[in-house]
Amino acid sequence: MGNSWACFSPKEKEVSFVREPSKRLPNYSSPFSPFSFSTKSKSKKRENLDEYDDALIQQQAQLAAALLFQHHQQTGSLPLNRSTSVVYPSPAPKKIPRSSSSGQHSRADHSLIHPHQLLNQIEGLETNRLVLVHGGGFGAWCWYKTITLLEESGYRVDAVDLTGSGVHSFDTNSITTLAQYVKPLTDILEKLGDGEKVILVGHDFGGACISYVMELFPSKISKAIFVAAAMLSSGQSTLDVFSQQMGSNDLMQQAQAFLYANGKDQPPTAIDLDKALVKDLLFNQSPAKDVSLALVSMRPIPFAPVMEKLSLSEANYGSVRRFYVVTQEDCAVPVPLQENMVQTNPPEEVFWLKGSDHAPFFSRPQSLHKILVEISQIPPKHV
């Protein structure tokens, strides 16, 4: 969950960057390219669209919550299996009628994407199925806006609760390996049919989780998208990378609380966060309603998987196309730390999400959606 281990941090090496006008960064040759408008009026337009979209999606979320509450009142339980790995799959993509009035949008256009504008592109994609992997402390619930936007655009979406996260009932303190933590994700990949592929999207600690399965199932992954996420090199742990923050993060050190389920004489078993401080740390640009959702939904982060070093090979992990999304107003995983990961382990392309805190699915859902769609439409490389 961001740089939750700042107290372990050595001083990070200084990184310098040169700004370039392009939006996308092939091979990270142009380090800065704000995914934003060049004028204040267009920036304001994008913000208004995000707010407008927030309102529409929130109405749907409130309706879903009301139905769940009604079901709970009638049956005494939720329509979810809390004893096993929980995955929220989407139905098959709808056939959306085309409209002759659709206009072409440039890739720098932050206007609302309408489903009829994507129908033909989706039908020609290598895959239209995305698997969303939450970060430490989060759950599948955090993607509710992104799920709605992608499904309305014709994509198939799975949002997974990793072990001990979201509504998964396993005790976080009992998770001892990364393999155990990501099992709900590996279950999805194992069940894919021959020739079937997905796009993985990992946020925060979810970056290490998708890296782990990239090594195991490279032929089943079309692309991997890291959103303010731990993008590791072989031999690194998430702790190694997230502890390399420049200076000290006083807010993080104040917010974090180590849990010792096995006793104070043993290593920590999990990390929890002070709910009074997470708004400034994680959600400094997010709507109040989403902060409230997070405060009642977040769970502790298992510590053992965070310390586990990954073994990543060029033949497997290195064969999967990687993309990175930088969140520019992030207080948990600051921009210099994200830049450092990109420089150390360069992805194919880098996208910059202006105005986003550590939770772009809350603070900039439309802009994040636009980037995910754009990456999904990048054609396969022909060897």
Type and span of the H or E element at 224: strand 221-227
∠62-65-71 over CA atoms, to 5°?
A: 145
226 phi and psi angles, rounded to 5 deg = -100, 120
Phi-psi region of 235 (alpha: psi -120 to 50; beta: other; left: phi over 0): left
∠50-56-57 over CA atoms, to 5°?
A: 85
Residue 51 CB partners (closer than 8 Å, separation 6+): none
358 labelled catalytic: yes
Which amino acid type is present at position 18? V
Classified as helix, coil or strand, 318 is helix
204 labelled catalytic: yes
Query: Burial of 58 by CB count in 10 Å (0-12 exposed, 13-18 middle, 19+ buried)?
Result: middle
Cα 137 to Cα 89: distance, rounded to the nearest angstrom: 21
Active-site residue identified among 50, 204, 240, 290: 204
Active-site residue identified among 161, 330, 357, 369: 330
> Pick from 81, 120, 83: which is nearest to 99 by CA?
120
Active-site residue identified among 110, 134, 168, 358: 358
171 labelled catalytic: no
Count the Cβ atoms, other than its own, within 10 Å of residue 7: 12
Instruction: Compute CA distances 311 → 29, 241, 339, 340, whole Å.
Output: 27, 15, 22, 20
- What is the number of H-type helices and E-type strands within the chain? 14, 11
∠193-141-289 over CA atoms, to 5°?
A: 155
* Residues with catalytic function: 204, 330, 358
